[in-house]
Amino acid sequence: MQEFKHNISILGSTGSIGTQTLEVARNYKGIKVHALAAHSNIDLLEKQTREFKPELVCVADSNKAAEFKIRVADLDVKVVSGEEGLSEAAVYPKSNTVVTAVVGIAGLVPTIEAIKAGKNIALANKETLVTGGHIVTRLAKEYGVKLLPVDSEHSAIFQSLQGNPKKIKKILLTASGGPFFGKTKEELRDVTPADALKHPNWNMGAKVTIDSSTLVNKGLEIIEAKWLFDVSIDRIEVLVHRQSVVHSAVMYEDNAVIAQLGVPDMKLPIQYALTYPDRLSMSGNELDFEKYPDLTFAKPDTDTFFALELAKKAGREGGILPTVFNSSDEAAVDLFLKGKIGYLDISEKIRMAMDNVKNIENPSLDDIFEADKYARKIVYGS
């Protein structure tokens, strides 16, 4: 019987990162998928289950879980649901790595449970570190597990740091600038969800795509980088790089800059997180430099896209403020996608929530989830 090198669970298997993770698993037979978890897309989840034959599948929506169980009754698979089911998938005994690709703060608890079970984390859920970075990084050290970044930017930083991680001058975090680079507030006043979902380089889920357009996503990534690489917020510089070829870079104390370049494709960072420290061959995503004769860099417009500065403030002050930043954005994006608020209101809602919270240092999990509820109440109720 073949012995697999990499045994994984995927939380969020029907999303963008989850489906691309399964592409990697499809191309590299040394990856065995033992558990899958999704929210409610049981059509796709059934296809994944039949192809990859996991032993455990979680459907977060309990009604959908019941229907899914009937659909796969001919398969030898255990079907679970809800938050408990998500945690069961996260700690599945046969997996040694958990890909955390669920959206939002929902990824925090299962990630903590996976760490306590001794699993390495292929981290695609940035909200986990944004809201609970002080808890997650401490537990990772305590349980001796690796936090392996899946975001292309953090993977690039991780790769650029190999060999000399203690001599950082600053991190250069690149951003595509989204579909509205160079636009003024007045030009953005009547932006629709359809406009904001037209990302120039990346194919992502709706929430992340909207966040990319407002630079909220880059703000979340700043806070994530703070925890992943143990650097202060003020040593993380954002550069708008429209071509999305330089995925991020590190400047060292001697001013040398080491960067990781590649095509705008998530399969490389996903594969590297799953197979680290090995590098495996990959077809179809080789960078052709002749297609990119000009690589440009610019400072972000933080007057128009001021959510980036709000994220820096949250990251500097810490406590529950990063949770408030994240959760108020989740609620505001939800309202925007439903046509209930304007595009510019997203960042304004975040600012309003942050202005109306009393910070708590070193928050517990209960504090974090209370802050999450409070921020959403402000946004939805105002």
Q: In DSSP terms, which residues pair with 361 in a beta bridge? A: none
pTM of the model: 0.93
How far is CA 66 from each of CA 9, 85, 223, 284, rounded to the nearest angstrom? 21, 13, 38, 39
Site of tokens 């708590």: 360
pLDDT at residue number 367: 97
Task: Give the model confidence (pLDDT) of 123-162 as tens digits.
Answer: 999 999 999 999 999 999 999 999 999 999 999 999 999 8
Q: What residues contact 323, with CB distance under 8 A and at least 6 apart?
A: 105, 130, 131, 363, 368, 371, 372, 375
pLDDT at residue number 208: 87
Give the alpha-carbon dihedral of 242, 243, 246, 249, to 10 degrees. 0
Task: Give the model confidence (pLDDT) of 236-277 as tens digits.
Answer: 999 999 999 999 999 999 999 999 999 988 999 999 999 998
Q: What residues contact 142, with CB distance under 8 A and at least 6 apart?
A: none
- The mean predicted confidence, pLDDT, of the chain is 94
Helix (H) or strand (E) holding 260: strand 257-261
Say how far apart CA 307 and CA 315 lie, in whole Å: 12
| CA-based nearest residue to 58, from 30, 34, 36, 90 | 36
Residue at 195: amino acid letter: D
Q: What residues contact 38, with CB distance under 8 A and at least 6 apart?
A: 12, 13, 14, 15, 18, 44, 45, 58, 59, 60
Say how far apart CA 307 and CA 351 lie, in whole Å: 8
Say how far apart CA 265 and CA 270 lie, in whole Å: 10
DSSP three-state, residue 7 = strand
Say how far apart CA 61 and CA 40 lie, in whole Å: 6
Q: Which of the residue ranges 109-118, 155-164, 289-298, 357-366 would you say has the lowest mean pLDDT? A: 155-164
Q: Could you give phi then psi for residue 367, rounded to 5 degrees? A: -60, -40
Kindly tell me if the per-residue pLDDT of 233 is higher than 70: yes
